[in-house]
Amino acid sequence: MNRKSDEELLKEIQKHTLGMEDKFSFECKQCGDCCRKRSQPVLLTGYDVYNIAKNLNVGTAEVLMKYCNIIPGDTSGLPVVYLRERPDGSCSLLRKGLCTVQHNKPVVCRIFPIGRYYDGKEHRYFTQWQGSCVGTGQRELTLKEWLDAFRVQELDEASELWGKFIIAASLYGQKIKVKEKYAEYFRDVGMALYVWYDMQLSVEDNMKRNIKKIEDKYKGFKVQ
């Protein structure tokens, strides 16, 4: 089967886009299927790592070492972090069929089975029309009710900061031609994105502080 083009995929997503008061039917069966043998790994942002660390009462470095895999992005070269799976395909944060960070789980997991994208102005949400859990389908609720249940919109500021940071970091990295300097830059940005978090500060304050560290060290680096 041919993969959909980006344009076709966008049209399909827009067709299934939900407004805040639009309703859909879903009831989680707590079967844990969405936590096992996923076709796509759960990608983590820095604020996801921070929230997991907060929930487990550990540092972000420990979360990365115990529960995550890290690879360089294909185009950006920046570190990409995703949840590690056990040999049986289950999420490393799953215990006896239940999520150990249920109330602070990654945003991808919080909104499931709803999908999300950022259109440059705001986040848009859509029902995933294929390859998703349908639950029991017995509970009707609005999109806002679903997002409020997992405090998704509380992370909007962090999400926007993250997106701007990633774009600025990728563009700046493309200008570095000396291998040794890029290695140092890659390390610093990776630490700023995922590691330099003080659990006594809010995630937004941490991200603003980390962005400033990179802006101060690397001339011309600027998050707009």
**Span 98-108, pLDDT tens digits:** 899 988 999 98
Among candidates 218, 25, 5, 10, which has minimal Cα distance to 135? Answer: 25
Question: What pLDDT score was predicted for residue 189?
Answer: 97
**Span 159-191, pLDDT tens digits:** 999 999 999 999 999 998 887 888 999 999 999
Q: Kindly report the length of the chain.
A: 224
Question: What pLDDT score was predicted for residue 132?
Answer: 59
CA gap 42, 208 in Å, rounded: 25
Coil vs helix vs strand at 120: coil
Q: Which residue has the tokens 């493309």?
A: 174
**Does residue 150 register a pLDDT over 90?**
no
| The one-letter amino acid at 108 | V
Farthest CA pair distance, the chain: 58
Question: What pLDDT score was predicted for residue 179?
Answer: 79
Per the DSSP assignment, residues forming a β-bridge with 94 are 99
Q: Where are the alpha helices (DSSP H) in 36-178?
A: 46-56, 60-67, 107-111, 143-149, 156-173
